[in-house]
A and B are shown apart, each in its own frame.
Chain A
Amino acid sequence: MPKKAERETERPPDAASPGKKARRKSVLWREIPEPKGAHAARVEEGGDGGFEPRIVAFACNWCSYPAADAAGISKLQYPPNARIIRVMCAGRIHPGFVLRALELGADGVLVSGCHFEDCHYLFGARRAAEQFEKTAEIVRMLGIGPERVRYEQISAAEAPKFAKVMHEFVEDVKKLGPSPLAGATGELEVPEAVSEETT
Protein backbone atom coordinates (compact mmCIF):
# COMPACT_ATOMS: atom_id res chain seq x y z
CA MET A 1 0.00 0.00 0.00
CA PRO A 2 1.44 3.38 -0.92
CA LYS A 3 2.05 5.93 1.78
CA LYS A 4 -0.51 8.64 2.20
CA ALA A 5 1.51 11.29 0.47
CA GLU A 6 2.07 9.12 -2.57
CA ARG A 7 -1.58 8.30 -2.82
CA GLU A 8 -2.41 11.95 -2.88
CA THR A 9 -0.11 12.69 -5.73
CA GLU A 10 -1.23 9.66 -7.68
CA ARG A 11 -4.83 10.64 -7.69
CA PRO A 12 -5.92 12.81 -10.61
CA PRO A 13 -6.02 16.36 -9.37
CA ASP A 14 -9.54 17.34 -10.33
CA ALA A 15 -12.52 15.47 -11.73
CA ALA A 16 -12.30 12.33 -9.62
CA SER A 17 -12.65 14.19 -6.37
CA PRO A 18 -14.54 17.40 -6.73
CA GLY A 19 -15.02 17.60 -3.01
CA LYS A 20 -11.37 17.42 -2.33
CA LYS A 21 -10.34 20.05 0.09
CA ALA A 22 -6.70 20.81 0.48
CA ARG A 23 -5.81 18.17 3.01
CA ARG A 24 -4.81 19.63 6.28
CA LYS A 25 -1.29 18.31 6.23
CA SER A 26 0.67 18.34 9.39
CA VAL A 27 2.84 21.00 7.85
CA LEU A 28 4.70 21.63 11.02
CA TRP A 29 5.82 18.06 11.22
CA ARG A 30 6.53 17.43 7.62
CA GLU A 31 8.72 20.42 7.19
CA ILE A 32 10.80 20.38 10.31
CA PRO A 33 14.35 20.12 9.04
CA GLU A 34 16.62 17.55 10.54
CA PRO A 35 19.57 18.80 12.54
CA LYS A 36 22.59 18.85 10.28
CA GLY A 37 23.74 15.39 9.52
CA ALA A 38 21.20 13.66 11.69
CA HIS A 39 19.12 12.36 8.86
CA ALA A 40 22.12 10.98 7.06
CA ALA A 41 23.19 9.27 10.26
CA ARG A 42 19.76 7.79 10.62
CA VAL A 43 19.70 6.54 7.08
CA GLU A 44 23.11 4.93 7.40
CA GLU A 45 21.83 3.51 10.67
CA GLY A 46 24.73 4.59 12.73
CA GLY A 47 23.72 2.29 15.56
CA ASP A 48 25.87 3.08 18.60
CA GLY A 49 27.81 6.10 17.55
CA GLY A 50 25.84 7.62 14.72
CA PHE A 51 22.27 7.78 15.90
CA GLU A 52 21.11 11.33 16.45
CA PRO A 53 17.78 11.36 18.23
CA ARG A 54 15.00 13.69 17.17
CA ILE A 55 13.75 15.43 20.26
CA VAL A 56 10.70 17.60 20.63
CA ALA A 57 10.89 20.05 23.50
CA PHE A 58 7.81 21.90 24.68
CA ALA A 59 9.03 24.97 26.49
CA CYS A 60 7.02 27.44 28.53
CA ASN A 61 7.00 30.97 27.21
CA TRP A 62 7.72 32.42 30.65
CA CYS A 63 10.58 30.29 31.88
CA SER A 64 12.15 27.52 29.83
CA TYR A 65 11.98 29.28 26.49
CA PRO A 66 13.82 32.35 27.80
CA ALA A 67 16.21 29.93 29.49
CA ALA A 68 16.94 28.38 26.10
CA ASP A 69 17.37 31.88 24.73
CA ALA A 70 19.73 32.80 27.51
CA ALA A 71 21.68 29.61 26.95
CA GLY A 72 22.14 30.70 23.35
CA ILE A 73 23.14 34.24 24.26
CA SER A 74 25.63 32.94 26.81
CA LYS A 75 27.00 30.65 24.11
CA LEU A 76 26.44 27.55 26.21
CA GLN A 77 26.91 24.49 24.07
CA TYR A 78 24.22 21.84 23.94
CA PRO A 79 23.22 19.22 21.37
CA PRO A 80 21.11 20.56 18.51
CA ASN A 81 18.74 17.59 18.49
CA ALA A 82 15.73 19.33 19.95
CA ARG A 83 13.08 21.26 18.10
CA ILE A 84 11.81 23.63 20.71
CA ILE A 85 8.13 24.45 20.58
CA ARG A 86 7.18 27.49 22.57
CA VAL A 87 3.89 27.20 24.42
CA MET A 88 2.23 29.76 26.62
CA CYS A 89 2.09 27.33 29.50
CA ALA A 90 3.45 23.82 30.00
CA GLY A 91 0.14 23.05 31.72
CA ARG A 92 -1.39 22.95 28.25
CA ILE A 93 0.79 20.00 27.28
CA HIS A 94 -1.48 17.08 27.98
CA PRO A 95 -0.74 13.52 26.88
CA GLY A 96 -2.22 14.10 23.42
CA PHE A 97 0.60 16.41 22.32
CA VAL A 98 3.34 14.14 23.55
CA LEU A 99 1.77 11.03 22.05
CA ARG A 100 1.30 12.78 18.74
CA ALA A 101 4.96 13.79 18.71
CA LEU A 102 6.02 10.22 19.47
CA GLU A 103 3.62 8.87 16.88
CA LEU A 104 5.08 11.10 14.22
CA GLY A 105 8.57 9.90 14.91
CA ALA A 106 10.07 11.86 17.78
CA ASP A 107 12.59 9.77 19.69
CA GLY A 108 12.11 11.74 22.86
CA VAL A 109 9.86 14.47 24.19
CA LEU A 110 10.81 17.02 26.81
CA VAL A 111 8.21 19.09 28.62
CA SER A 112 9.75 22.00 30.41
CA GLY A 113 7.85 24.45 32.58
CA CYS A 114 8.13 26.70 35.59
CA HIS A 115 8.90 25.86 39.16
CA PHE A 116 5.65 25.53 41.08
CA GLU A 117 6.09 28.79 42.96
CA ASP A 118 7.09 30.78 39.85
CA CYS A 119 4.21 29.92 37.55
CA HIS A 120 2.99 32.88 35.54
CA TYR A 121 -0.54 31.54 35.74
CA LEU A 122 -0.25 30.38 39.36
CA PHE A 123 -1.64 26.88 38.83
CA GLY A 124 -0.14 26.07 35.41
CA ALA A 125 3.02 24.42 36.64
CA ARG A 126 1.06 22.07 38.86
CA ARG A 127 -1.22 21.27 35.96
CA ALA A 128 1.83 20.53 33.85
CA ALA A 129 3.12 18.10 36.47
CA GLU A 130 -0.29 16.41 36.72
CA GLN A 131 -0.56 16.06 32.98
CA PHE A 132 2.95 14.75 32.69
CA GLU A 133 2.25 12.11 35.30
CA LYS A 134 -0.42 10.74 32.98
CA THR A 135 1.84 11.01 29.96
CA ALA A 136 4.64 9.16 31.70
CA GLU A 137 2.32 6.36 32.77
CA ILE A 138 0.96 5.93 29.24
CA VAL A 139 4.44 5.87 27.76
CA ARG A 140 5.49 3.31 30.38
CA MET A 141 2.56 1.10 29.41
CA LEU A 142 3.35 1.40 25.74
CA GLY A 143 6.70 -0.16 26.54
CA ILE A 144 8.80 2.18 24.43
CA GLY A 145 10.97 3.20 27.39
CA PRO A 146 9.82 5.62 30.06
CA GLU A 147 13.03 7.62 29.54
CA ARG A 148 11.74 8.84 26.20
CA VAL A 149 9.70 11.48 27.96
CA ARG A 150 11.04 13.87 30.52
CA TYR A 151 9.59 16.65 32.61
CA GLU A 152 11.73 19.49 33.87
CA GLN A 153 11.26 22.72 35.72
CA ILE A 154 13.64 25.31 34.36
CA SER A 155 13.24 28.96 35.26
CA ALA A 156 14.23 31.84 32.97
CA ALA A 157 17.41 32.31 35.01
CA GLU A 158 18.56 28.73 34.65
CA ALA A 159 20.23 28.69 31.26
CA PRO A 160 23.00 26.32 32.42
CA LYS A 161 20.35 23.94 33.69
CA PHE A 162 18.66 24.00 30.30
CA ALA A 163 21.91 23.09 28.57
CA LYS A 164 22.60 20.38 31.14
CA VAL A 165 19.12 18.85 30.72
CA MET A 166 19.56 18.83 26.96
CA HIS A 167 22.90 17.04 27.28
CA GLU A 168 21.48 14.45 29.65
CA PHE A 169 18.28 13.87 27.73
CA VAL A 170 19.97 13.45 24.38
CA GLU A 171 22.43 11.02 25.96
CA ASP A 172 19.58 9.04 27.55
CA VAL A 173 17.63 8.82 24.33
CA LYS A 174 20.77 7.89 22.39
CA LYS A 175 21.18 4.93 24.73
CA LEU A 176 17.60 3.86 24.02
CA GLY A 177 18.10 4.04 20.28
CA PRO A 178 15.56 5.10 17.67
CA SER A 179 11.95 5.00 18.75
CA PRO A 180 10.13 1.92 17.50
CA LEU A 181 7.23 4.21 16.70
CA ALA A 182 9.17 6.34 14.27
CA GLY A 183 7.03 6.53 11.21
CA ALA A 184 4.53 4.09 12.70
CA THR A 185 1.75 5.67 10.75
CA GLY A 186 3.93 6.68 7.87
CA GLU A 187 3.24 10.35 8.37
CA LEU A 188 6.63 11.76 9.19
CA GLU A 189 8.54 12.14 6.03
CA VAL A 190 11.55 14.31 5.66
CA PRO A 191 11.06 16.32 2.50
CA GLU A 192 13.42 15.53 -0.34
CA ALA A 193 14.99 18.96 -0.41
CA VAL A 194 16.07 18.75 3.18
CA SER A 195 17.60 15.31 2.86
CA GLU A 196 19.62 16.48 -0.10
CA GLU A 197 20.77 19.49 1.80
CA THR A 198 22.01 17.43 4.69
CA THR A 199 23.81 14.79 2.67
Chain B
Amino acid sequence: MAAAEEGVDLREEMADALKKSRALLCYECGKCTGICPVARFDRSFSPRSLLVKAVRGEDAALVDDVNVWSCLTCKLCDARCPAAIDYGLLTKTVRAFVHHEGGEGTCTHGGAVQALMRIMTTKELEQDRLSWVDDSIDVSKTGDTIYFVGCAPYFDVVFSETGAKTLDSAKGAIRLLNAAGVKPMLLPNERCCGHDLLWNGDVENFRMLARENLRMIEESGASRVVVSCPEGYATMKVDYPRVFGDLGFEVVHLTELLAEAIDGGSLTFAGNGETTVTFQDPCRLGRHMGIYDAPRAILSAMPGVTLVDMPHSRERAICCGVGGWMNCTSFSKMIQAARLREAKATGASTLVTACPKCEIHLKCALNDQTLKDEVQLEIADLWALAASRLG
Protein backbone atom coordinates (compact mmCIF):
# COMPACT_ATOMS: atom_id res chain seq x y z
CA MET B 1 0.00 0.00 0.00
CA ALA B 2 1.50 3.27 -1.02
CA ALA B 3 -0.90 5.38 0.95
CA ALA B 4 1.73 7.09 3.02
CA GLU B 5 4.12 7.68 0.21
CA GLU B 6 4.62 11.21 -0.86
CA GLY B 7 2.67 12.34 -3.85
CA VAL B 8 0.32 9.41 -3.78
CA ASP B 9 -3.23 10.56 -3.82
CA LEU B 10 -5.24 8.69 -1.27
CA ARG B 11 -8.30 9.25 -3.38
CA GLU B 12 -6.69 7.35 -6.22
CA GLU B 13 -5.84 4.69 -3.74
CA MET B 14 -9.48 4.58 -2.67
CA ALA B 15 -10.69 4.41 -6.26
CA ASP B 16 -8.28 1.57 -6.85
CA ALA B 17 -9.47 -0.27 -3.75
CA LEU B 18 -13.09 0.18 -4.79
CA LYS B 19 -12.28 -1.59 -8.03
CA LYS B 20 -10.04 -4.26 -6.57
CA SER B 21 -12.43 -5.07 -3.77
CA ARG B 22 -15.30 -5.31 -6.29
CA ALA B 23 -17.24 -2.87 -4.10
CA LEU B 24 -18.84 -1.38 -7.20
CA LEU B 25 -20.59 -4.69 -7.77
CA CYS B 26 -22.51 -4.44 -4.50
CA TYR B 27 -26.21 -4.88 -5.14
CA GLU B 28 -27.16 -3.90 -1.64
CA CYS B 29 -28.68 -7.19 -0.57
CA GLY B 30 -27.62 -6.51 3.00
CA LYS B 31 -26.34 -10.01 3.73
CA CYS B 32 -23.12 -8.50 5.09
CA THR B 33 -25.08 -6.58 7.68
CA GLY B 34 -27.23 -9.61 8.38
CA ILE B 35 -24.25 -11.78 9.26
CA CYS B 36 -22.04 -9.11 10.86
CA PRO B 37 -21.32 -9.94 14.52
CA VAL B 38 -21.18 -6.24 15.36
CA ALA B 39 -24.44 -5.38 13.58
CA ARG B 40 -26.09 -8.22 15.47
CA PHE B 41 -25.83 -6.16 18.65
CA ASP B 42 -25.08 -2.64 17.46
CA ARG B 43 -28.00 -1.55 15.31
CA SER B 44 -26.21 1.58 14.13
CA PHE B 45 -23.48 -0.43 12.45
CA SER B 46 -23.73 -1.77 8.94
CA PRO B 47 -20.91 -2.86 6.63
CA ARG B 48 -23.18 -2.12 3.69
CA SER B 49 -23.75 1.52 4.60
CA LEU B 50 -19.99 1.99 5.01
CA LEU B 51 -19.46 0.51 1.59
CA VAL B 52 -22.13 2.73 0.09
CA LYS B 53 -20.48 5.81 1.62
CA ALA B 54 -17.14 4.78 0.15
CA VAL B 55 -18.65 4.09 -3.27
CA ARG B 56 -20.46 7.40 -3.34
CA GLY B 57 -17.29 9.19 -2.30
CA GLU B 58 -18.86 10.77 0.75
CA ASP B 59 -15.53 11.53 2.33
CA ALA B 60 -16.82 13.88 4.97
CA ALA B 61 -19.32 11.31 6.15
CA LEU B 62 -16.61 8.65 6.30
CA VAL B 63 -14.23 10.78 8.32
CA ASP B 64 -16.89 11.53 10.89
CA ASP B 65 -18.32 8.03 11.00
CA VAL B 66 -17.37 6.26 14.19
CA ASN B 67 -18.47 3.02 12.55
CA VAL B 68 -15.42 3.05 10.30
CA TRP B 69 -13.59 1.89 13.43
CA SER B 70 -16.25 -0.47 14.76
CA CYS B 71 -15.63 -3.07 12.08
CA LEU B 72 -13.77 -6.07 13.48
CA THR B 73 -12.21 -6.75 10.07
CA CYS B 74 -13.07 -10.40 10.71
CA LYS B 75 -14.13 -10.85 7.08
CA LEU B 76 -17.28 -12.75 7.97
CA CYS B 77 -19.10 -10.53 5.48
CA ASP B 78 -16.55 -11.46 2.81
CA ALA B 79 -17.36 -15.09 3.30
CA ARG B 80 -21.08 -14.43 2.96
CA CYS B 81 -21.15 -11.80 0.21
CA PRO B 82 -22.80 -13.10 -2.97
CA ALA B 83 -20.88 -10.51 -5.01
CA ALA B 84 -17.59 -11.69 -3.44
CA ILE B 85 -16.65 -8.22 -2.28
CA ASP B 86 -13.38 -7.91 -0.39
CA TYR B 87 -14.51 -5.89 2.62
CA GLY B 88 -11.14 -6.43 4.27
CA LEU B 89 -9.26 -4.55 1.58
CA LEU B 90 -11.90 -1.86 1.42
CA THR B 91 -11.90 -1.29 5.19
CA LYS B 92 -8.12 -1.18 5.29
CA THR B 93 -8.01 1.48 2.57
CA VAL B 94 -10.88 3.50 3.98
CA ARG B 95 -9.16 3.55 7.36
CA ALA B 96 -5.87 4.67 5.87
CA PHE B 97 -7.74 7.46 4.14
CA VAL B 98 -9.72 8.49 7.20
CA HIS B 99 -6.60 8.36 9.38
CA HIS B 100 -4.82 10.62 6.94
CA GLU B 101 -7.76 13.03 7.00
CA GLY B 102 -7.55 13.26 10.76
CA GLY B 103 -10.16 10.75 11.87
CA GLU B 104 -9.28 8.47 14.74
CA GLY B 105 -10.78 5.43 16.35
CA THR B 106 -10.93 5.03 20.08
CA CYS B 107 -7.91 3.05 21.13
CA THR B 108 -8.63 0.71 23.97
CA HIS B 109 -6.34 0.42 26.98
CA GLY B 110 -5.69 4.14 26.74
CA GLY B 111 -3.75 3.63 23.55
CA ALA B 112 -1.02 1.79 25.49
CA VAL B 113 -0.58 -0.81 22.79
CA GLN B 114 -0.53 1.67 19.95
CA ALA B 115 1.94 3.87 21.83
CA LEU B 116 4.14 0.83 22.36
CA MET B 117 4.02 0.04 18.67
CA ARG B 118 4.84 3.55 17.62
CA ILE B 119 7.69 3.63 20.13
CA MET B 120 9.07 0.53 18.43
CA THR B 121 9.50 2.42 15.18
CA THR B 122 12.54 4.07 16.82
CA LYS B 123 15.57 2.79 14.96
CA GLU B 124 18.05 2.97 17.84
CA LEU B 125 15.90 0.92 20.20
CA GLU B 126 17.81 -1.80 22.07
CA GLN B 127 15.10 -3.90 23.62
CA ASP B 128 15.51 -6.38 26.42
CA ARG B 129 12.64 -8.59 25.41
CA LEU B 130 14.01 -12.09 25.75
CA SER B 131 14.49 -12.33 29.51
CA TRP B 132 11.80 -15.03 29.61
CA VAL B 133 13.90 -17.49 27.62
CA ASP B 134 14.96 -20.24 30.02
CA ASP B 135 16.32 -23.79 29.99
CA SER B 136 12.98 -25.37 29.17
CA ILE B 137 13.32 -24.21 25.57
CA ASP B 138 16.08 -24.66 23.07
CA VAL B 139 16.98 -21.70 20.90
CA SER B 140 20.02 -21.17 18.75
CA LYS B 141 22.08 -18.16 17.83
CA THR B 142 22.33 -19.09 14.18
CA GLY B 143 20.34 -21.19 11.77
CA ASP B 144 17.91 -20.90 8.95
CA THR B 145 14.70 -20.66 10.96
CA ILE B 146 13.50 -17.70 12.97
CA TYR B 147 10.63 -17.93 15.39
CA PHE B 148 8.85 -14.59 15.32
CA VAL B 149 7.74 -14.09 18.90
CA GLY B 150 5.51 -11.12 18.20
CA CYS B 151 4.12 -8.97 20.98
CA ALA B 152 3.83 -11.83 23.49
CA PRO B 153 6.34 -10.42 26.02
CA TYR B 154 4.52 -7.09 26.10
CA PHE B 155 1.00 -8.48 26.07
CA ASP B 156 1.93 -10.68 28.98
CA VAL B 157 2.53 -7.55 31.04
CA VAL B 158 -0.12 -5.20 29.65
CA PHE B 159 -2.94 -7.72 29.91
CA SER B 160 -1.83 -9.50 33.06
CA GLU B 161 -5.10 -8.67 34.78
CA THR B 162 -7.09 -10.71 32.26
CA GLY B 163 -5.14 -13.79 33.29
CA ALA B 164 -3.90 -14.30 29.73
CA LYS B 165 -0.43 -15.81 29.68
CA THR B 166 0.83 -14.97 26.23
CA LEU B 167 4.40 -15.84 27.14
CA ASP B 168 3.33 -19.39 28.00
CA SER B 169 2.00 -19.47 24.48
CA ALA B 170 5.32 -18.34 23.00
CA LYS B 171 7.26 -20.77 25.19
CA GLY B 172 4.86 -23.56 24.23
CA ALA B 173 5.35 -22.74 20.58
CA ILE B 174 9.14 -23.01 20.92
CA ARG B 175 8.87 -26.29 22.85
CA LEU B 176 6.70 -27.65 20.05
CA LEU B 177 9.23 -26.49 17.48
CA ASN B 178 11.97 -28.21 19.47
CA ALA B 179 9.91 -31.38 19.60
CA ALA B 180 9.49 -31.20 15.84
CA GLY B 181 13.28 -31.00 15.55
CA VAL B 182 13.62 -27.28 14.91
CA LYS B 183 15.91 -25.09 16.98
CA PRO B 184 14.76 -21.60 16.10
CA MET B 185 16.58 -18.32 16.31
CA LEU B 186 14.94 -15.44 18.14
CA LEU B 187 15.45 -11.86 17.11
CA PRO B 188 16.61 -9.97 20.21
CA ASN B 189 15.34 -6.67 18.91
CA GLU B 190 12.26 -7.76 17.03
CA ARG B 191 9.57 -5.15 16.46
CA CYS B 192 5.83 -5.46 16.43
CA CYS B 193 4.75 -6.80 13.04
CA GLY B 194 2.66 -3.67 12.50
CA HIS B 195 -0.63 -5.47 12.05
CA ASP B 196 -2.62 -3.28 14.39
CA LEU B 197 -1.24 -0.01 13.13
CA LEU B 198 -1.98 -1.10 9.57
CA TRP B 199 -5.57 -1.93 10.45
CA ASN B 200 -5.83 1.30 12.45
CA GLY B 201 -5.03 3.17 9.25
CA ASP B 202 -1.55 4.23 10.41
CA VAL B 203 0.25 3.03 7.31
CA GLU B 204 3.26 5.25 7.83
CA ASN B 205 4.26 3.67 11.12
CA PHE B 206 3.36 0.22 9.83
CA ARG B 207 5.92 0.63 7.09
CA MET B 208 8.58 1.72 9.55
CA LEU B 209 7.99 -1.33 11.73
CA ALA B 210 7.93 -3.65 8.74
CA ARG B 211 11.15 -2.19 7.41
CA GLU B 212 12.94 -2.73 10.72
CA ASN B 213 11.74 -6.33 10.91
CA LEU B 214 12.69 -7.08 7.34
CA ARG B 215 16.12 -5.56 7.84
CA MET B 216 16.77 -7.68 10.92
CA ILE B 217 15.54 -10.86 9.28
CA GLU B 218 17.71 -10.20 6.28
CA GLU B 219 20.75 -9.55 8.47
CA SER B 220 20.17 -12.82 10.32
CA GLY B 221 20.36 -14.71 7.04
CA ALA B 222 17.41 -16.92 7.87
CA SER B 223 15.43 -18.44 5.03
CA ARG B 224 12.31 -19.25 7.00
CA VAL B 225 10.28 -17.34 9.57
CA VAL B 226 7.87 -19.32 11.72
CA VAL B 227 5.05 -17.33 13.23
CA SER B 228 2.57 -18.60 15.78
CA CYS B 229 0.42 -15.47 16.02
CA PRO B 230 -2.17 -15.49 13.23
CA GLU B 231 -2.04 -11.74 12.90
CA GLY B 232 1.72 -11.68 12.56
CA TYR B 233 1.46 -14.47 10.04
CA ALA B 234 -1.18 -12.76 7.91
CA THR B 235 0.73 -9.49 8.01
CA MET B 236 4.09 -10.98 7.07
CA LYS B 237 2.66 -13.31 4.50
CA VAL B 238 0.27 -10.90 2.78
CA ASP B 239 0.97 -7.29 3.67
CA TYR B 240 4.77 -7.28 3.74
CA PRO B 241 5.10 -8.62 0.19
CA ARG B 242 2.32 -6.31 -0.96
CA VAL B 243 4.26 -3.29 0.31
CA PHE B 244 7.86 -4.38 -0.12
CA GLY B 245 7.75 -6.98 -2.89
CA ASP B 246 9.57 -10.28 -2.62
CA LEU B 247 10.79 -10.83 0.93
CA GLY B 248 13.53 -13.35 0.24
CA PHE B 249 12.40 -15.69 2.98
CA GLU B 250 9.53 -18.04 3.57
CA VAL B 251 6.79 -17.25 6.10
CA VAL B 252 5.28 -20.32 7.71
CA HIS B 253 2.58 -20.62 10.30
CA LEU B 254 3.37 -22.91 13.18
CA THR B 255 0.21 -24.97 12.63
CA GLU B 256 1.34 -25.90 9.13
CA LEU B 257 4.81 -26.86 10.31
CA LEU B 258 3.44 -28.93 13.20
CA ALA B 259 0.71 -30.59 11.15
CA GLU B 260 3.43 -31.73 8.74
CA ALA B 261 5.57 -33.02 11.61
CA ILE B 262 2.58 -34.92 13.00
CA ASP B 263 1.89 -36.44 9.58
CA GLY B 264 5.53 -37.44 9.25
CA GLY B 265 5.40 -39.04 12.69
CA SER B 266 8.19 -36.91 14.15
CA LEU B 267 5.88 -35.18 16.63
CA THR B 268 3.76 -37.18 19.05
CA PHE B 269 1.68 -36.30 22.06
CA ALA B 270 1.08 -38.30 25.22
CA GLY B 271 -2.20 -38.89 27.03
CA ASN B 272 -2.83 -36.57 29.90
CA GLY B 273 -6.43 -37.23 30.92
CA GLU B 274 -9.62 -37.09 28.91
CA THR B 275 -11.00 -33.71 27.96
CA THR B 276 -13.44 -32.25 25.47
CA VAL B 277 -12.42 -29.07 23.73
CA THR B 278 -13.81 -26.72 21.15
CA PHE B 279 -11.78 -24.50 18.87
CA GLN B 280 -12.07 -20.78 18.23
CA ASP B 281 -10.92 -20.11 14.66
CA PRO B 282 -8.98 -16.84 14.71
CA CYS B 283 -10.22 -14.65 11.86
CA ARG B 284 -6.66 -13.95 10.66
CA LEU B 285 -5.81 -17.64 10.50
CA GLY B 286 -9.13 -18.80 9.11
CA ARG B 287 -10.88 -16.41 6.80
CA HIS B 288 -7.85 -14.24 6.10
CA MET B 289 -5.38 -17.06 5.47
CA GLY B 290 -7.60 -20.08 4.88
CA ILE B 291 -6.02 -22.35 7.51
CA TYR B 292 -8.74 -24.40 9.16
CA ASP B 293 -7.55 -28.00 9.17
CA ALA B 294 -4.01 -27.67 10.52
CA PRO B 295 -4.97 -26.56 14.05
CA ARG B 296 -7.66 -29.23 14.16
CA ALA B 297 -5.12 -31.84 13.08
CA ILE B 298 -2.91 -30.82 16.02
CA LEU B 299 -5.81 -31.06 18.47
CA SER B 300 -6.90 -34.45 17.13
CA ALA B 301 -3.35 -35.78 17.41
CA MET B 302 -3.48 -35.42 21.19
CA PRO B 303 -4.68 -38.61 22.81
CA GLY B 304 -7.55 -38.03 25.21
CA VAL B 305 -8.59 -34.77 23.57
CA THR B 306 -11.97 -34.81 21.85
CA LEU B 307 -12.69 -31.87 19.57
CA VAL B 308 -16.28 -30.72 19.18
CA ASP B 309 -16.81 -27.84 16.79
CA MET B 310 -19.22 -25.04 17.49
CA PRO B 311 -22.06 -24.41 15.02
CA HIS B 312 -20.23 -21.26 13.97
CA SER B 313 -16.83 -22.67 13.14
CA ARG B 314 -14.32 -22.62 10.31
CA GLU B 315 -15.34 -19.98 7.76
CA ARG B 316 -18.41 -19.15 9.83
CA ALA B 317 -16.52 -18.59 13.07
CA ILE B 318 -17.43 -15.55 15.12
CA CYS B 319 -14.68 -13.10 16.00
CA CYS B 320 -13.49 -12.60 19.58
CA GLY B 321 -15.03 -9.13 19.65
CA VAL B 322 -12.29 -6.54 19.16
CA GLY B 323 -9.95 -5.92 16.25
CA GLY B 324 -6.72 -3.91 16.32
CA TRP B 325 -7.18 -2.78 19.94
CA MET B 326 -9.90 -0.38 18.92
CA ASN B 327 -13.43 0.43 19.91
CA CYS B 328 -13.88 -2.16 22.62
CA THR B 329 -17.44 -1.43 23.66
CA SER B 330 -20.32 -3.11 25.43
CA PHE B 331 -21.12 -4.66 22.05
CA SER B 332 -17.74 -6.37 22.11
CA LYS B 333 -18.66 -7.87 25.44
CA MET B 334 -21.99 -9.06 24.00
CA ILE B 335 -20.21 -10.72 21.08
CA GLN B 336 -17.82 -12.39 23.49
CA ALA B 337 -20.60 -13.55 25.81
CA ALA B 338 -22.54 -15.01 22.89
CA ARG B 339 -19.42 -16.78 21.68
CA LEU B 340 -18.64 -18.22 25.11
CA ARG B 341 -22.23 -19.45 25.49
CA GLU B 342 -21.98 -21.10 22.11
CA ALA B 343 -18.75 -22.78 23.16
CA LYS B 344 -20.37 -23.97 26.37
CA ALA B 345 -23.33 -25.41 24.47
CA THR B 346 -21.04 -27.86 22.68
CA GLY B 347 -20.43 -29.56 26.00
CA ALA B 348 -16.74 -28.78 25.88
CA SER B 349 -14.91 -27.92 29.05
CA THR B 350 -12.15 -25.96 27.34
CA LEU B 351 -12.20 -23.39 24.59
CA VAL B 352 -8.94 -23.54 22.67
CA THR B 353 -7.71 -20.39 20.98
CA ALA B 354 -4.81 -20.06 18.57
CA CYS B 355 -4.44 -16.29 18.71
CA PRO B 356 -3.15 -14.28 21.68
CA LYS B 357 -5.85 -11.70 21.13
CA CYS B 358 -8.67 -14.24 21.17
CA GLU B 359 -7.22 -15.52 24.42
CA ILE B 360 -6.96 -12.04 25.94
CA HIS B 361 -10.42 -10.93 24.82
CA LEU B 362 -12.27 -14.05 25.83
CA LYS B 363 -10.47 -14.25 29.16
CA CYS B 364 -11.30 -10.60 29.71
CA ALA B 365 -14.98 -11.37 29.09
CA LEU B 366 -14.74 -13.97 31.82
CA ASN B 367 -13.84 -11.21 34.27
CA ASP B 368 -17.62 -10.85 34.40
CA GLN B 369 -18.28 -13.14 37.33
CA THR B 370 -21.90 -13.86 36.32
CA LEU B 371 -20.82 -15.00 32.89
CA LYS B 372 -17.95 -16.97 34.36
CA ASP B 373 -20.30 -18.84 36.70
CA GLU B 374 -22.70 -19.44 33.85
CA VAL B 375 -20.32 -20.82 31.22
CA GLN B 376 -17.65 -22.36 33.48
CA LEU B 377 -15.24 -22.66 30.59
CA GLU B 378 -11.50 -22.93 30.66
CA ILE B 379 -9.77 -20.94 27.97
CA ALA B 380 -6.54 -22.48 26.79
CA ASP B 381 -4.00 -21.42 24.24
CA LEU B 382 -3.34 -24.04 21.57
CA TRP B 383 0.45 -23.86 21.92
CA ALA B 384 0.50 -23.93 25.69
CA LEU B 385 -1.98 -26.83 25.69
CA ALA B 386 -0.11 -28.81 23.04
CA ALA B 387 3.25 -28.23 24.75
CA SER B 388 1.85 -29.50 28.04
CA ARG B 389 0.88 -32.73 26.31
CA LEU B 390 4.12 -33.44 24.50
CA GLY B 391 5.07 -37.11 24.56
Query: B-contacting residues of A (Cβ < 8 Å)?
Result: 1-2, 17-24, 94-97, 99-100, 102-103, 134, 137-138, 140-144, 180-181, 184-185
Contact = CB atoms under 8 A, between A and B. Distances in A.
Given A102-B115, A184-B119, 16 more contacts: A1-B4, A18-B59, A19-B58, A19-B59, A24-B102, A94-B112, A99-B116, A99-B119, A138-B116, A140-B128, A141-B128, A181-B119, A184-B118, A184-B121, A185-B118, A185-B205
A contact patch SS: loop
A137 B154 CA distance: 9
A97 B110 contact: yes
* Shortest beta-carbon contacts, A-B, top 10: A96-B110, A19-B60, A96-B112, A23-B102, A19-B59, A99-B115, A19-B63, A184-B122, A143-B126, A143-B127
Given A96-B110, A96-B112, A141-B153, A24 B104 contact: yes
Place the interface of chain B in its size category: 35 or more
B62 interface: yes
B158 A134 contact: yes
B219 interface: no
Contacts of B63: 19-21
Nearest to A99: B115
The SS class assigned to the B binding surface is helix
5 contacts: A20-B102, A138-B157, A142-B128, A143-B126, A184-B118
A94 B115 CA distance: 12
Contact of A144 (B4, B59, B110, B125): B125
B103 interface: yes
Contacts of A23: 102
Given A18-B59, A20-B101, A102 B110 contact: no
B352 to A, nearest CB: 27
Given A96-B115, A103-B115, A138-B154, A185 B121 contact: yes
Contact of A142 (B58, B101, B112, B119): B119
A17 B10 CA distance: 11
A19 B61 contact: yes
B154 A141 contact: yes
A165 to B, nearest CB: 25
Interface string B110-137: 1110011011111011111101000000
A17 B122 contact: no
Most buried by A among B6, B111, B119, B204: B119
A138 B158 contact: yes
A2 B112 CA distance: 26
Contacts of A184: 118-119, 121-122
